[in-house]
Chains A and B, each alone.
Chain A
């Protein structure tokens, strides 16, 4: 097999053939390549199973401060013995001559029976020609030496003495060629590169995958002739519930389903006329005592419909196509299919000719544009629309129909009190559900984990 090698690889292989086991440092010297080139070259060869890298540890010995002094002037006990060579000396004189090393040197010489003392005179008893440690000290000198090149017995005494020996643990790599590399023919063709070799991965910066779906849906609504409106995520219960004909004791309004803001109430919730007419509609149809304080409670919107109905109540258009897109909140346990905060799209058509079949028609067109063609409509129930339908779309992967958007025509109990006279077609649903289909996810939490592994690798959906 003929392979193409980079110039770096060739040099490393050639050098390893001459000298089969080398450290990266010795390869630098033999090939005249930079440390970085050597590192890269070894990585490439490793990936191709041509190089074997074994990592090992070794101890390197050098002299510390006292060790260097002893190397230059002799060991303290050597200095003592040298002073006594010419005959016995007084203790006080020795102390003056030896200074700091006087104590240790006397101690050692006594312990080893090299000297003897009579009254205050110190004299030599035995005179060893080479003291323990002297051989090692000379051997090391100003160098750094691998520990296994030294006599361990001779070294051990020095290791116990303060600041004599510095021991460093050095991790080293040893590179050798694998068997397959030994038989490789290195072509001489210069300038060729291995176009099949693996390359490092580059991560693109990009919009968030969920944002891509949000933008796509926004775009579809605009091309279907809808204009976008904005609204707050924090809303009074009045616009989130009361204006949408949800009675004040409705289970959906309870703490376990809706996020209420702690100790925060809205002062102004609507015009006096709006408040009066909405409350009358509740009292008449739901038969209970409507309480304005309940309507003042601030919630995190549970749907974007509150934004739409407020817009319609303020503008009372005869004809309109508008949509609202944004985050909504439900007080649910977070799971693979539920988030406390997710995105919703909601569109309405106002017009005297607006009909349920039109509403179904717009849905069909919308789904077609996001690539879903197998749909059907089933009746369902929403508190604020009548008639109400839901779209079911067929999921090929799951092999079943799943619920997507809800839709309906706003009830007169909703529109009349707010002075909206024309029929309002409304529909909406969660965007994450569509995005999950697009990105083939089965855990909705993935969208908000900001896991770089996924963000960097998820394929952009078309």
Chain B
């Protein structure tokens, strides 16, 4: 979840008359987790579905509603203007077809505001922008741009001075040599042409979705802003723009429209939508009995507008709340406005009779039997390493099941056997006193169509007198007591075990596993200094019964 850093004093100024404590008490009830606090600074985790909470301006709007200082929907006041036209050429259609934008005037921009806007930009790029793929934003100093603008394409040799640089670099140079170029260049594919926004004099303003031109850099001296959003999907681009517009208006800017035309593009509408929900659904889902007036006031505390029509609630949703899909989302908004802390938990009378899965019960009984036989239960990961599973134990690794890109070297393949993990456990415990006797039951994986999962059972005994007879009597007794089953052992060879001390375990002449003395070379591999005997059987086919 994304994190944003805020200042309590700044928030207090933005929200109105509230104490620091009121703010910190209320934040969690907006769905914001306080991650850490340090004097005036507070770090907050917010949900990716609420990008408006990436700035203190957006959080202030939410707090005002929850605390009853200002309720109802924030309306965007966009002054219509013809001064800022952007025309779109059809050559962008195949690369990044849509552009939208807005002008924001007469705001005060201090360092903290710039920082907030940059966080918002980054989070929007990551979340709804899907790492700038679906949509991306450029924020510019309006006064450094001469309109009209053209959104078109250019070739990779085109040179300009990019943001945070002092010299001209070609577009290929930007893609090859800058961090943003390397990170996002792949979004442009192999085409020789790339998207560009030119001003009246053919000077680049922005090279979306990679970088802006240096000339339009926003500083604390900037008064007026131009925001452009480009993307591969018109709706996503406008959703993103709606968040930026709402935040800028809240930050004190007045908005003016940008006139967009050409290649299926049009001036953004920033439209509200209406969704209706029945008050009975709200009450049923929340387990409450609220009248329509209370529902409406709750929605207003969540900064939405609502009116009633009979028992239906008609709700008006501002364009930046694109996380609201339908009636259930409104139920949640009512719950938040009503206050989660005011919902009293209840227990509904239950007629159901619970039941443990029969397999769980059988496994639990096997655990108890093994404990009775003096074996300690171990638990190992089912994701393990090739070293433990195959290399150390001489096992056949031809049907290995790997995961892609694991961050941990010790967790790269799915186990097809439990015993190697137990040997690894012994290896880590050579300084502990003997005898060491352990067992584990767990899922093992084999390639099938596509994968079959079975439950295996393995046990191991290590001490100076460990021998075949001991471990055979253990598995024999465990299955006899645990399941009333009589197994046999038949001479077999297996590279994990010592020749002549290894057998296959059969049940009614069907092999279900292997038992024996672990090969002394393997014991040595694990640096264990006492003899080890062990077994592993499959429980799934032959022993566990699913009596659902």
Contact = CB atoms under 8 A, between A and B. Distances in A.
Nearest to A375: B345
Contacts of A210: 379
B33 to A, nearest CB: 7
A333 B347 contact: no
A365 B345 CA distance: 10
A332 interface: yes
Interface stretch (A14-22, A81-89, A376-384): A376-384
Interface stretch (A55-63, A104-112, A150-158, A355-363): A355-363
Nearest to A390: B33
Given A331-B407, A450-B378, A357 B352 contact: no
Contacts of A267: 449-450
A455 B376 contact: yes
B335 A387 contact: yes
A300 B347 contact: no
Given A208-B378, A331-B405, A376-B341, A381 B355 contact: no
Interface stretch (A95-103, A136-144, A161-169, A257-265): A257-265
Contacts of B340: 377-379, 389
Give the interface centre of A234, A298, A332, A376 by most chain B CB atoms within 10 Å: A234
A211 B428 CA distance: 21
Contacts of A205: 370-377, 437
A381 B438 CA distance: 42
Interface in B343-399: 343-348, 350-357, 359-360, 364, 367-368, 370-383
Contacts of A358: 287, 346-348
Give the interface centre of A207, A333, A423, A451 by most chain B CB atoms within 10 Å: A207
Interface in A170-208: 203, 205-208
A224 interface: yes
Contacts of B378: 208, 450, 455
B491 interface: no
Give the interface centre of B331, B352, B372 by most chain A CB atoms within 10 Å: B352
A392 to B, nearest CB: 8
A225 B47 contact: no
A298 B33 CA distance: 33
Contacts of A409: 285, 328
Interface size class of A (residues with CB under 8 A): 35 or more
Give the interface centre of B285, B336, B364, B445 by most chain A CB atoms within 10 Å: B285
Contact of A298 (B133, B364, B436, B450): B450
Nearest to B433: A203
B423 to A, nearest CB: 11
A333 B127 CA distance: 22
Contact of A450 (B325, B326, B375, B380): B380
B429 interface: yes
Interface in B423-448: 425, 428-429, 432-433, 436-438, 443, 445, 447
Give the interface centre of A327, A355, A377, A388 by most chain B CB atoms within 10 Å: A355
B421 to A, nearest CB: 8
Interface in A195-251: 203, 205-208, 210-211, 215, 218-219, 221-230, 232-234, 249, 251
A332 B383 CA distance: 13
B184 interface: no
Contacts of A329: 383
A452 B287 contact: no
Given A234-B451, A378-B28, A228 B377 contact: no
B43 interface: no
A447 B406 contact: no
B361 to A, nearest CB: 9
Contacts of B433: 203
Contacts of A340: 381, 383, 406-408, 411
Nearest to B127: A251
A356 B411 CA distance: 39
Contacts of A413: 325-326
Contact of A227 (B288, B354, B381): B354
Q: What does DSSP make chain A's interface, helix, strand, loop or mixed?
A: mixed
Interface in A335-374: 339-341, 351, 353-358, 360-365
Contact of B343 (A219, A225, A377): A377
A411 interface: yes
Interface in B43-60: 47-50
Contact of B429 (A219, A260, A285, A451): A451
A262 B352 contact: no
A450 B451 contact: no
Contacts of B410: 334
A321 B346 contact: no
B165 to A, nearest CB: 30
Nearest to B31: A379
Contacts of B118: none
A381 B368 CA distance: 41
A450 B379 contact: yes
A386 B47 contact: no
B335 A356 contact: yes
A266 B450 contact: yes
A323 B528 CA distance: 42
A380 B328 CA distance: 15
A255 interface: yes
Nearest to A423: B285
Given A211-B377, A361-B348, A389-B340, A255 B411 contact: no
B479 interface: no
B448 to A, nearest CB: 10
A261 B401 contact: yes
A357 B432 contact: no
Contacts of A224: 350, 354
B115 to A, nearest CB: 23
A398 B537 CA distance: 44
A453 interface: yes
Contacts of B373: 205
A57 to B, nearest CB: 24
B130 interface: yes
B31 A334 contact: no
Contact of B453 (A233, A351, A403): A233
Contacts of B436: 452
Given A262-B403, A265-B450, A387-B331, A356 B286 contact: yes
Contact of B355 (A228, A264, A331, A355): A228
B314 interface: no
A386 B453 contact: no
Contacts of A127: none
A43 to B, nearest CB: 15
Given A205-B437, A378-B29, 9 more contacts: A227-B354, A321-B350, A334-B407, A356-B335, A365-B347, A381-B49, A387-B332, A448-B381, A450-B378
Interface of A: 203, 205-208, 210-211, 215, 218-219, 221-230, 232-234, 249, 251, 255-256, 259-262, 264-267, 285, 287-288, 298, 300, 319-321, 327, 329, 331-334, 339-341, 351, 353-358, 360-365, 376-381, 383, 386-389, 392, 403, 409, 411-413, 423, 447-453, 455-456
9 residue pairs, one from A and one from B, having the closest CB atoms: A355-B287, A381-B47, A357-B287, A387-B332, A360-B345, A228-B357, A222-B354, A225-B352, A361-B345
12 contacts: A234-B445, A331-B407, A353-B348, A354-B348, A355-B285, A356-B287, A357-B344, A361-B345, A377-B345, A378-B29, A386-B328, A411-B328
